[in-house]
Amino acid sequence: MTAAWIALAAALLVAVPVGLLWWIRSRFVVVTVNGGSMRPTYEPGDRVLVRRVAAGRVRAGDVVLMASAAPVLRGGEGLGLVKRALAVPGDPVPRERVPALAGAREHTVPEGRVVLVGDHPGSDDSRQYGYFPLADLLGVVVRKLP
């Protein structure tokens, strides 16, 4: 083996793991659930794996991580908000389940908006605040981590 081959092999041994780590970190993030709004699905302190996705890739029923929605609630505490997407653009407005949207003029959730609820009935969410901007979506929860 020549020195060039050895250098190439050494470079690959470094570059491949670094590239793989970069790819994983650009697509996934680990978040610790803070608060009880997602009980019983997630408890405070649970760690979840979140896949970063574009706003158009969220579906009703997905548990999502929202980036800047946290300042709307609780005076800015926390770095994000973990909630369930109850309705996404084009879905019927869930007036019966979301009192803040009972008087909504539109029949379907508008583009760029999402209806978010916690699994716990006492959650601060769309039931009090109405729509949330889809632009604040960071990703979809994939699974709970051990």
As a three-state string, the secondary structure of 87-146 is ECCCCECCCCCCHHHCCCCCCECCCCEEEEECCCCCCCCHHHHCCEEHHHEEEEEEEECC
What was the pLDDT predicted at 74? 41
- Only one residue has tokens 């158009």, namely 56
% residues pLDDT > 70 (the chain): 84
Tokens 């019966």 label which residue? Answer: 96
Q: Are strands 47-52 and 28-32 parallel, antiparallel or unpaired?
A: antiparallel
Give me the half-sphere count of Cα atoms (radius 13 Å) on the Cβ side of residue 60: 11
Provide the percentage of residues in the chain whose pLDDT is more than 90. 62
Please give the average per-residue pLDDT across 102-123, as a whole number: 96
What confidence tier does 21 reach under pLDDT thresholds 50, 70, 90? low
Provide mean pLDDT across the span 101-105.
95
Compute how many other C-beta atoms are within 10 angstroms of the C-beta atom of residue 58.
Answer: 19
Average pLDDT across the chain, whole number: 86
Matching residue, tokens 């879905």? 91
Residue 1's pLDDT is 64
Q: How is the beta sheet containing 47-52 ordered, strand by strand?
A: 28-32, 47-52, 137-144, 63-66, 81-87, 113-117, 132-133
